[in-house]
């Protein structure tokens, strides 16, 4: 065989043997996984600050505005006036809405004859021609035929008119002192343990009316498991008898306590609370004890916390224990500049 042909053929044969191996090596190199690049995920959140605040604990309820009850110094501030005897109304001396003084005669019952007799007895007594007893009896008879105001106040209702027959059960008029009002409320017994006379209270009207409890019943109403409370209202409160109002009574005051926006506190299934404390570009879960809540703030306590620390507010729920975060502006639109750790 010609040598010039043998050498190329051997080279070709060797190449045909080596080529599959080279192909496998290249395939193995292609199949080898590349080194994975670590991806760090940032969570967009909003943040707030730990502040120092004075927070209050409240018991809330609903009450009814009524006239104030009688005290050791004053009669009740409202009275429904019944006829002192059976008779016929001859004169109504007042109109609804009229101001009257204590002792004013509001309604008269066929009293002309009785009034004339009193006048006669007074004249005779002045002349020493009758006894004091006779005069007093005449006056007592006239009193049975007159309905008088037992207090100074406003005539809020007149129920009779001249010519109408009345008896001892007929309510002829009603008088109220509208400057002496009270609110009565029934508070669930389970919430009434911290209530006592003198506790500050607030009627949640516009504007609110501040007062304090006058009375907390020692008894529980077994029909609805509530405790009756009462508070006197200041003069000029602007409230009206029969008005239904909401109120709250202060049961605790914590001054100079650490507080955070309420949405920053997350409570897990076990009842444990924590906040996400912002540390550089991370949110670090921090266990806290919670206390009073008021006006969107929650009282917290934990070692190492201080006023001015930043906490996650919107977005705090469900964050892992340590999470890279990106704090958004309060409006939630454009993000703030990245934190140094995020850069």
Which pLDDT score, from 0 to 100, does residue 9 have? 47
In the chain, where does the domain assigned CATH 2.40.420.20 lie?
Answer: 43-55+254-327
In the chain, where does the domain assigned CATH 2.40.50.100 lie?
Answer: 78-176
Does 152 have pLDDT greater than 90? yes
Taking only the tens place, the pLDDT of each residue in 268-325 is 888 899 999 998 888 999 999 999 999 999 999 999 999 999 999 988 888 888 888 8
- Mean residue pLDDT of the chain comes to 84
Window from 1-5, 59-63, 250-254, 256-260 with minimum mean pLDDT = 1-5
Which pLDDT score, from 0 to 100, does residue 35 have? 52
Does 155 have pLDDT greater than 60? yes
Give the class (CATH, top level) of 78-176.
mainly beta
Taking only the tens place, the pLDDT of each residue in 29-41 is 555 555 555 555 7
- Nearest Cα residue to 323 out of 305, 303, 339: 339
Give the class (CATH, top level) of 43-55+254-327.
mainly beta
Q: Is the dihedral of CA 63, 64, 67, 72 positive or negative?
A: negative
Alpha-carbon distance 67 to 179, whole Å? 9
Does 18 have pLDDT greater than 60? no
Phi, psi of 118 (to 5 degrees): -65, -45
Q: What is the DSSP letter of 305?
A: -
3-class DSSP assignment, residue 54 = strand
Name the β-bridge partners of 210. Answer: 202
Preceding omega of 207 cis (within 30 degrees of 0): yes
Phi, psi of 317 (to 5 degrees): -70, 130
Q: What is the dihedral of CA 310, 315, 317, 323, to 10 degrees?
A: -70
In the chain, where does the domain assigned CATH 2.40.30.170 lie?
Answer: 57-67+179-253
Which pLDDT score, from 0 to 100, does residue 112 have? 66
Which pLDDT score, from 0 to 100, does residue 38 have? 54
Q: What is the dihedral of CA 58, 62, 66, 72, to 10 degrees?
A: -30
Which pLDDT score, from 0 to 100, does residue 340 have? 40
| Contact (CB, 8 A) for 212 and 198 | yes
Residue 61's Cβ-side half-sphere holds a number of Cα atoms within 13 Å equal to 23
Give the class (CATH, top level) of 57-67+179-253.
mainly beta
Considering only CA atoms, give the Rg of the chain: 44
Strands across the sheet with 171-176, in order?
Answer: 78-82, 171-176, 153-158, 99-100
Residue 121's Cβ-side half-sphere holds a number of Cα atoms within 13 Å equal to 18
Does 14 have pLDDT greater than 60? no
Instruction: Decide which of 9 and 321 is more confident.
Output: 321
| Percent with pLDDT over 90 in the chain | 59
pTM above 0.75, yes or no: no
């Amino acid at each position: 065989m010609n040598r010039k042909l043998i050498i190329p053929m051997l080279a070709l044969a060797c190449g045909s043997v080596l080529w599959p191996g080279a192909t496998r090596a290249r395939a193995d190199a292609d199949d080898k996984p590349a080194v994975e690049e670590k991806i760090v995920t940032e969570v967009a959140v909003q943040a707030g600050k730990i502040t120092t605040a004075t927070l209050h604990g409240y018991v809330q309820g609903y009450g009814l505005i009524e006239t104030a009850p009688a005290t050791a110094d004053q009669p009740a501030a409202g009275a429904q006036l019944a006829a002192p005897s059976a008779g016929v109304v001859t004169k109504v001396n007042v109109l609804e809405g009229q101001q009257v003084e204590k002792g004013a005669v509001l309604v008269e019952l066929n009293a002309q004859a009785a009034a004339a007799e009193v006048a006669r007895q007074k004249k005779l007594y002045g002349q020493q021609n009758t006894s004091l007893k006779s005069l007093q009896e005449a006056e007592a008879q006239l009193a049975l035929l007159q309905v008088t105001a037992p207090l100074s106040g406003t005539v809020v209702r007149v129920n009779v008119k001249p010519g109408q027959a009345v008896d001892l059960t007929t309510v002829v008029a009603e008088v109220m002192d509208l400057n002496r009002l009270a609110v009565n409320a029934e508070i669930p017994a389970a919430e009434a343990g911290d209530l006592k006379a003198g506790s500050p209270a607030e009627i949640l009207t516009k504007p609110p009316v501040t007062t304090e409890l006058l009375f907390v019943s020692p008894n529980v109403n077994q029909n609805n498991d509530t405790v009756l409370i009462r508070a006197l209202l200041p003069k000029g409160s602007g409230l009206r008898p029969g008005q239904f109002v909401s109120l709250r009574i202060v049961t605790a005051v914590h001054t100079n306590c650490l507080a955070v926006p309420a949405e920053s506190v997350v409570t897990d299934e076990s009842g444990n609370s924590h906040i996400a404390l912002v540390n550089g570009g991370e949110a670090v879960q921090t266990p806290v004890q919670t206390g009073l809540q008021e006006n969107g703030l929650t009282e917290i306590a934990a070692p190492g916390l201080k006023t001015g620390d930043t906490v996650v507010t919107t977005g705090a729920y469900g964050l892992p224990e340590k999470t890279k975060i990106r704090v958004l502006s309060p409006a939630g639109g454009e993000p703030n500049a990245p934190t140094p750790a995020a850069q």
